[in-house]
Structure 1
Amino acid sequence: MSTTPLLYFADGLDFRGQLAMPALSDGAAKLPGILIFPEAPGVGPHVIRRAEALARMHYVALAADVHGDGKLFDDPVSMLDSIKQIKSDPQRLLQRLQAALDALARVPQVDPERIAVIGYCFGGWCALELARSGAALGGAGIFHGALASEQDAGRIRARLLVCTGAADPLVPLGQVTKFSEEMSGAGVDWQVHLYGSTGHGFTSEEAGSNPRPGFGYSASSDRRSWAALLAFLDEVFPKNV
C-alpha cells in the first residue's frame, strides 16, 4: 500500500489530494474507487488514515482537496471564512467536487464505473451534494454531515448511507426526519444509522480537542459506523476481492 499526492485542476486552482493505492500485481483487474471529502480544515491525518485503511481492503481511495493547493487550516476563523466562500457559490463547489471525482476516475487502476464517495462533517455534506447533482456514483456515505440542501433528491443515482449522532447540534433530529421523508419520496435507496449519546465529529479522535458542547469523538460509534460503511461498500461493489 502506498499514499502519494494526486494533482488536478478546477475552478482556476490547483488541487492536491492524497491517493492511497493497494499493492497490485501487473495485469491486476481494475478496482473500485472511493472518493473521500474531508472535514472543513482540509485533507488531514483523519481522512488520510481512512484512505489508507480502504486501500488495504483493495479499494483505490482519494482523500480529495476542497480548498486548493492542499490547504489544511489550523485557524478556525480563516477556515470558516473559506467554507462560507465555497458554499456561497454552489456551482463552483460542484465544479470542485466533480473535478475530484473525475481525477479519481482517471487513475489507471480504478474502474470508472465503480466509484463511491464518502465524507466527514463538511465533507459529508459535500458527498451528499455531489450525489444530489446526479453524479455517476454507486454509493455515498455521509458521516456527521449536514443533510439539508437547496438541491432536491430527484437526480440522486447513488445508494445512500448516513451515520449521524443523536446528540449532534449541527444535524438535529428534525433534519434527519426531513431527510428521510425527502429520500423516501424520491425513491432513493437510503439508510440512516443513528447513534445515541453521540455528538458531532464522532469518527475523528482529533474532534476530542473541540471544547464546544455536542462535539467529540466516540470510539463505539466510530467502530459501528466504520463497520456499517464496510457492509455498505460490500453491497455497492459485491464483486470486490
Structure 2
Amino acid sequence: MIQSEKITYQDSKSNQIFEGVICWDDAMAEKKPGVLVAHTFKGQSDFEVDKAQELAKLGYVGFALDMYGQGNRATTPEEADALMQPFLDDRALLLNNILLAFDTLKKHAEVDETRCGGIGFCFGGKCMLDLARSSADINGVVSFHGIYDQPGLNHEGDIKASVLVLHGWEDPLAKPDSTVALGHELTERNADWQILAFGHTGHSFTNPKANFHDRGMFYQEASNRRAWQAMTNFFEEIFE
C-alpha cells in the first residue's frame, strides 16, 4: 500500500522550515531508491505529490520537496513569480535549498542513500540541472520542460549524475539555441546525458491544466506519456 507522509525539515543556517510529502510502498520491506520531485514556480502542490505517489508505485521513495518554505505557495502567476524570483537572482540560494531537500531524502528510513535521483518540472527542472551541475553525488536527474541557463557559480569538474532532459521543441522558455547550449555544457563537463525533444510540444506539456496555446504553454498528452516512459526507463537503468 502506498504511504504518504508530510514531513518538515529545517535549514540550520537560516532556521527556515520547509514542508514536503514523502511517499513509498510499505509492501516493500527493503530500502528503496529515493527520487526528489521538484515543483513548478507555484510551489509544492498536489501535482508534485501525485508524481511522488506514482514513483512509489514504481518501487521508489518519492519526495515532493519544498523550495520556498512552509506555507509559501502561490495561487496566481503573479504570486508564483514573486516566490520564484529570489532563486533566479541568487542561484546559490536555489542550490542550497535543493541540497537541503536531497540531504533530507537520503536520511529517510525507507531510502537507500546510495541510490538516489530527482525529477523536476519547469522551475523544478532548473533545480535538477543545478543540482547536477554542482557535482552532487546523485545517480541521475530528469528535467521536464525545464529552463537551461547556467547558474554562474563557477562549477568545475565532471558532472557525476546522469542527466535526462525532456523537452518541448516549441517551448518559448527554452528555445532551440539554449537546448543546444545545454548539450555543449553537459558534454564539456563529461556528463552522461540525453536530450529528448518532442515535436509540436511547448512548455508545461505534462500539466493537464495548462491551456495557453497562444503563450506556448499547453498540455500534450502523447509527449507527457512518452516523457514519463523515458523517465521510467532512465531510472531502471541507473538504479539497476
TM-score in same-fold range (> 0.5): yes
Does residue 200 of structure 2 align to residue 197 of structure 1? yes
TM-score by length of 2: 0.93
The alpha-carbon deviation at position 75 of structure 1 amounts to 2.0
Q: How many residues align?
A: 235
RMSD across aligned positions (CA):
1.4
- CA distance, structure 2, for counterparts of residue 237 and residue 108 of structure 1: 18
Matched-pair contact (CA < 8 Å) for 1:43–1:70: no
**Paired residue for 1:234?**
236
- CA distance, structure 1, for counterparts of residue 105 and residue 16 of structure 2: 17
Which stretch shows the higher mean deviation, 62-71 or 225-234?
62-71
Does the C-alpha gap of structure 1 residues 155 and 186 become closer, same or farther in structure 2, counting only changes over 3 Å? closer
Of 181, 184, 188 in structure 2, the residue corresponding to residue 181 of structure 1 is 184
The alpha-carbon deviation at position 183 of structure 1 amounts to 1.3
Which stretch shows the higher mean deviation, 52-61 or 5-14?
5-14
Which stretch shows the higher mean deviation, 170-179 or 66-75?
66-75
- CA distance, structure 2, for counterparts of residue 77 and residue 24 of structure 1: 42
Does residue 169 of structure 2 align to residue 166 of structure 1? yes
Matched-pair contact (CA < 8 Å) for 2:159–2:190: no
**Paired residue for 1:30?**
31
- CA distance, structure 2, for counterparts of residue 183 and residue 114 of structure 1: 22
**Paired residue for 1:132?**
133
Does the C-alpha gap of structure 1 residues 187 and 166 become closer, same or farther in structure 2, counting only changes over 3 Å? same
Percent of residue pairs bearing the same amino acid type? 32
Does the C-alpha gap of structure 1 residues 234 and 113 become closer, same or farther in structure 2, counting only changes over 3 Å? same
Q: Which runs of 5+ in 2 are unaligned?
A: none
**Paired residue for 2:157?**
154
Equivalent AA in structure 2 for residue 131 of structure 1? A
Segments of 4+ moved more than 4 angstroms: none
Matched-pair contact (CA < 8 Å) for 1:42–1:70: no
- CA distance, structure 2, for counterparts of residue 112 and residue 178 of structure 1: 32
**Paired residue for 1:225?**
227
Equivalent AA in structure 1 for residue 76 of structure 2? D
TM-score by length of 1: 0.93
Which stretch shows the higher mean deviation, 143-152 or 108-117?
143-152
**Paired residue for 1:57?**
58
**Paired residue for 2:110?**
109
Matched-pair contact (CA < 8 Å) for 1:66–1:97: yes
- CA distance, structure 2, for counterparts of residue 20 and residue 176 of structure 1: 32
- CA distance, structure 2, for counterparts of residue 225 and residue 211 of structure 1: 20
**Paired residue for 2:7?**
6
- CA distance, structure 2, for counterparts of residue 103 and residue 15 of structure 1: 11
- CA distance, structure 1, for counterparts of residue 90 and residue 201 of structure 2: 31
Matched-pair contact (CA < 8 Å) for 1:165–1:194: yes
Matched-pair contact (CA < 8 Å) for 2:115–2:239: yes
- CA distance, structure 2, for counterparts of residue 74 and residue 30 of structure 1: 36
Equivalent AA in structure 1 for residue 159 of structure 2? I
